Chains A and B, each alone.
Chain A
Amino acid sequence: MKGRFLLVLSLILIFVMSFSGFGKVKIKYWLWLDRPQDPLFYDMVKEFNAAHPDIEVEYEVIPWDSYHSKLLNALVSGNPPDCARIHVTWLGELDAMKVLEPLDKYLKNWSGYSNVFENIWSLLKAKPDGPVYVVPFQMVVLYLYYRKDLFEKYGLKVPSDYKEFLEVAKKLTLDLDGDGRIDIYGYGLRGARGGHAMWNTFVGYFDREGKIRTGKSIIDANQWYADLFAKYKVTPPTAPTDGFLQVLGGFKSGKTAMIIHHIGSSNDVVKALGKDKVGVARVPIGINGGWTHVVPEGNAIFSSSKHKKEAFEFISWMAEHDQVDRWCRMAGSVPVLKSVAKLPYYKENIFQKVSIESVEIGGTLPTVPQTAEFVETLWPTLFQKVMLGQMTSEEMIKKLNELFGVE
């Protein structure tokens, strides 16, 4: 009798547990994390789920290197998440594939809309007159990291333009122990995927509105940048295939004296070198004028989602004051919200300060479908060939022009 009672009770419990999620809308969310070891994001999801009993967010953290191809795979096979963190360079491609949900109708009823810096919204469209596709939560702006202690030791000034930059890089490419091998290089050049942003700082192929420049000055500037490796040898010999980890690792370990990256690396760099050794400044003015990459980052909803309202509830919650403040402090990124940017933490932080100051010369890449291919494969393949002398600068620029349909 007792046994039967326990059996029935167990069955009822199992039945109830199976349906405990009944009535909850489950949202699938994908993202990459620059600091996956930090618990903040995981805690934020728990918080959201607890505060929204009718919604449950199921996330998947995917490494950056495979994120784009995995997302495309999912979209093409008809099995994407409801919403995902996306990079704005993919907007043109995703818009052409017609997989993004326009967010204007949700944003007009969102109380947080006016708290976002106004000029950010235009960067979150695929076309100037098109809809907004992304709800942003952070901004990254590229600037120069440099070894303050080495600059002081060798009496060097922070370079303001590309000529001064080269001179400083040469002076900081040193054989410190006289064994005939270079111990420190002036500049950590990123030749692998992602290096296009630093490249454009000096070359100026894209202007600040994302329009393409052509002509001899671009070809010469491109060759100059490749010559940092090939002719002037102020970069590590691994530069052609150095990616984010290698470039950052080189700076943190003292192998390089200058790199260009964004505030996301500031915590790691200070932890490795100490505050006293790390200096930051606006990027030098390039050969074709001043330019630095400004990238708002955020979340988009896919048009195939069956839970768009709930997905917007989540991504707009991620873009509220408290969440943006916590995220930006953890990731070391620049807030897109006016209310957060006013906080003393951001106003007094040297990395935040230089990021905000750099927005003045900030620009983006064109939001056209070809941009994703340019970023993911064409730029690294072609520029590596120029660095290694397998292709001329002119041939590279010609191929880029062909991709973008420019004369």
Chain B
Amino acid sequence: MKTRKKFVPFLLILPALLTISLIIMYPIIYSIVLSFKRWILTKPWDKGFVGFANYLRAFNDQSFWISVKNTIIWVFWLVILELILGMISALLLDRRKPFINVIRGIVLLPWVFPSILTALMWVWLLDGNYGVINDLLFKMGLIKDYIPWLARPNTALYGIIMAALWQGTPFFTIMILAALQTVPNELIESALIDGAGAFHRFIYVKFPWIAPSVYITTLLRTIWIANYVEIIYIMTGGGPGESSQTLAVYTFKKAYISLDFGYASALSVILILFLLIPVFFYVKLLRKTGADVS
């Protein structure tokens, strides 16, 4: 009876475990195995185990290092800006006002847009000949001539960051807003009674309460942003040159344009290893705050 009780929980979670293994673990393990092989689709006769050759190739590949640098810029600015703007908009929306629910719905709209539509829309907004953004900046006297945002190596990536920021900020807004609405009123009232202003109420009462939600949202967005391909690929294809090419885009090109699945798998494994860094910090932070990871 005792033995049966011990095994019953495992039997109950077995179907879910099998599904997760098939859908998640199998592709990951397959990718790792593939990263140690040479497999180019246009050379089906030349397939085989090559050990760490694909990884060595990455470390000697200039395009790889350019992609890593671009990925760091892309992830850093996008996460930071989405967090700040998401926090500000969540705080503004966390109040009881007429039509606040309608406004909350409108704020969420960019997140609902398919990435392809977002990319196509922003290509034209940022267009160097007819773009609305250029037109507004020119008429405000902020620029002397239209800027070809997506055609210059020092502005292309930031132009795409603008587009992704517009699309991604609502996710932070909604997650933080949901967390803010769980802050007990008694704590806020106590702080008010003690004479705490809005800033101190946020720092000492609200933020500690919503911190786990902020951490998990930041972690999720970091991973999603690092893996983002479509918006960059559609807007610039990773160009001009390789100035907006991130590691995810480079991996995509190696897999689906060059058809070099062995090398692409190695690049994706490297990307996973990079992404374990924010996961490590997230777990450490949560342990520090004493919050439950789940």
Contact = CB atoms under 8 A, between A and B. Distances in A.
A381 B239 contact: yes
Interface stretch (A10-18, A90-98, A157-165): A90-98
B76 interface: no
Interface stretch (B37-45, B100-108, B214-222): B37-45
A242 B151 contact: yes
A372 B43 CA distance: 14
Contact of A246 (B41, B44, B127): B127
B241 A390 contact: yes
A377 interface: yes
Given A241-B236, A381-B241, A373 B258 contact: yes
A198 interface: no
Interface stretch (A31-39, A105-113, A231-239, A261-269): A231-239
Summarize B's interface: helix, strand, loop or mixed: loop
Given A97-B259, A240-B240, A380-B237, 6 more contacts: A72-B41, A97-B41, A236-B129, A237-B151, A238-B127, A384-B239
A291 to B, nearest CB: 25
B24 to A, nearest CB: 18
A329 interface: no
Contacts of A380: 237, 239
Contacts of A114: none
A352 to B, nearest CB: 31
With most chain B CB atoms within 10 A of its CB, the pick from A98, A181, A240, A376 is A240
Interface range on chain B (Cβ under 8 Å from partner): 20 to 34
Given A241-B150, A242-B151, A97 B237 contact: no
A255 interface: yes
B257 A240 contact: no
27 contacts: A72-B259, A96-B44, A97-B41, A192-B239, A236-B148, A237-B148, A237-B151, A238-B127, A238-B128, A238-B148, A240-B240, A241-B236, A241-B239, A246-B127, A253-B129, A253-B130, A369-B42, A369-B43, A372-B257, A373-B257, A376-B257, A377-B237, A381-B239, A381-B241, A384-B239, A384-B240, A390-B153
Contact of B241 (A65, A193, A376, A388): A388
Interface string A183-205: 00000000111000000000000
A73 B257 CA distance: 10
Instruction: Determine the main DSSP class of A at the interface with B.
Output: helix
A326 interface: no
A387 interface: yes
Contacts of A115: none
B253 A388 contact: no
Contacts of A181: 145-146
